[in-house]
Structure 1
Amino acid sequence: MQKTALITGASSGIGYAIAKALQTEGYQLIVTARRKDRLLDDAQVEVFPGDLSTEDFQDKLEDHIFQKYGRLDYLFNCAGMLETGPIETINLERMTAMLRLNVEATFRLTYKILKRFRQQGSGHIINISSVLGTKVRPTAGAYAASKFALEALSEALRMELAGTNIQVSCIEPGLVMTELHNNWEVHPKESMNIHEPLDVGNIVDAVLYILRQPGHVRIPRLMILPKDHNI
């Protein structure tokens, strides 16, 4: 049976790369993000653009998937924002928007899909977290908090779902070259002295490793760091 996967944040970076990889693997994909023109689109990919932070959009997305396909096998929570900065200059509106997307919207969608997974008796949630879900740094407290929250939810759900055919996995990348840092005055690879950051292909490899495990194996957390990462 062809596997069906929903990928959020699929217009760029890790989400887009995962979509490309799973397209090649033969999955039926539903991809979503706000930028419709950036979403992968072909016969195996259904584009469903919108703002994940709105309840109405989430409800329409869920209803569409289960009315059309009858089931969902994977949810990839890749949508997220990154807003950092010192107390004096951090953009409070962007910071709160980040928390709404990274925490509120992601949690809501996760529980909605898990209710469906409970009904069908199987499914797998793959959350794109961060190494900053395990530690904090000055000026990045709000972002780290959003990832700590995702880690806490993932572990609690893993425990609640132990013994079932429903899985929850967290991938915790270090610095990955994506659009998230395009507007930074100093790129983290310079400030952190990381000469060879990760690329999205490294994260895709981790995803495929998780997906190819036998049914009795669980991988709750998988941290991936560039070799120069030492803080």
Structure 2
Amino acid sequence: MQLPETRPLVETQTHSMEQKIVLITGASSGIGGASARTLAAAGYRVFGGVRRLDSVTSVPGIEWIQLDVQDEESVAAAVRVIIERTGRIDILVNNAGVSLVGPVEATSIAEAGALFDVNVFGVLRVVRAVLPSMRSRRSGLIVNISSVLGFLPAPFMGLYASSKHALEGLSESLDHEVRSFGVRIVLLEPSFTNTNLDTNATRTKAVIKDYAAALACSVDAVRQQVSNAPPPDEVAKKVLAIAEGTRQFRQPADGRAKLLSFLRRFAPSGQVDKSLRRAFGLEA
């Protein structure tokens, strides 16, 4: 099997043996791209996993590597190349993800399967490829980028929220399983972030007219909140803090996420329900 291509910025770049080795999936843009730049600037040796090398440009400290989380052979080959070059992967950031907007009723099984293939099974593929090395070294950190929708579902994002709920369950179970090997899992839960994930989200192919008005209100509300949301660099700072040692298992990535987490746990359910409906344009 042909090994994946990589593209370092500077061919003569040298690397200290003390540098932490980081693999970030979905690193071409958004939270993944910001995290790659932030960790590289902080002195980490970063491998940015991307599906297509021609989609990225050279960035100091980042070595781009072909990695498609939907392709098990691609994942295995990329991980093998990194370990051959560096001897290890210290930190894995599972960031690659896609979104899907539309009524649950309008979502086909194929659409749901494609979403889960990236957001859940993609994580599983990369974790399975990286863990043997981490276990053998009795050291490692896996950061899974979740969402506030991982604990607080939103209308017309039912399958995306389901995938993040699945990711959270997988992560918590995994953390118990690997802790004795010196490996820890951290869930990072951003709220709205100013990236293209939500604004360019795929729509369900099927259209059900009964949902049209509410769906339009919800999409407009999301776009407005995304436009006013903090940039992905703010989430990247949390990724860096986790890499530096903030290892609490579940971590809201920003103030809004922290507030929503608190309200979900302690506020009356009726109050949370009304607030959520207002936020997504379903009630005035």
User: TM-score scaled to structure 1, two decimals?
Assistant: 0.87
Please name the residue that 1:218 is paired with.
Answer: 247
For residues 59 and 233 of structure 2, the distance between their equivalents in structure 1, rounded to whole angstroms, comes to 21
Q: Over aligned residues, Cα RMSD in angstroms?
A: 2.5
For residues 183 and 16 of structure 1, the distance between their equivalents in structure 2, rounded to whole angstroms, comes to 17
Deviations, residues 174-208 of structure 1 (Å, cap 9, x unaligned): 11110112336778573587483232122012112
Q: Which has the higher helix share?
A: 2
For residues 56 and 221 of structure 2, the distance between their equivalents in structure 1, rounded to whole angstroms, comes to 30
- Equivalent pairs: percent with the same residue? 32
In structure 2, relative to structure 1, the CA distance for the partners of 1:20 and 1:187 (3 Å cut) is farther
Give the number of the structure whose alpha-carbon radius of gyration is greater. 2
Please name the residue that 1:97 is paired with.
Answer: 114
Question: Are 1:167 and 2:197 an aligned pair?
Answer: no
Deviations, residues 6-60 of structure 1 (Å, cap 9, x unaligned): 0100011000000010110111111112232333535632211242201110111
User: TM-score scaled to structure 2, two decimals?
Assistant: 0.72
For residues 70 and 106 of structure 1, the distance between their equivalents in structure 2, rounded to whole angstroms, comes to 22
Please name the residue that 2:233 is paired with.
Answer: 201
Unaligned runs of 5+ in 1: none
Alignment of 1:81-230 (within 5 A): 81-87=98-104, 89-90=106-107, 93-183=110-200, 190-191=221-222, 194=225, 196-213=228-245, 218-225=247-254, 227=256
Unaligned runs of 5+ in 2: 1-17, 202-215, 261-274, 277-284
In structure 2, relative to structure 1, the CA distance for the partners of 1:160 and 1:48 (3 Å cut) is same
1:149 Cα deviation after fit: 1.2
Q: Do the aligned residues in 1 keep the contact of 2:38 with 2:237 (CA within 8 Å)?
A: no
In structure 2, relative to structure 1, the CA distance for the partners of 1:192 and 1:212 (3 Å cut) is same
1:160 counterpart SS class: helix
Deviations, residues 94-146 of structure 1 (Å, cap 9, x unaligned): 43211101111211211221121001110100110001111222322211111
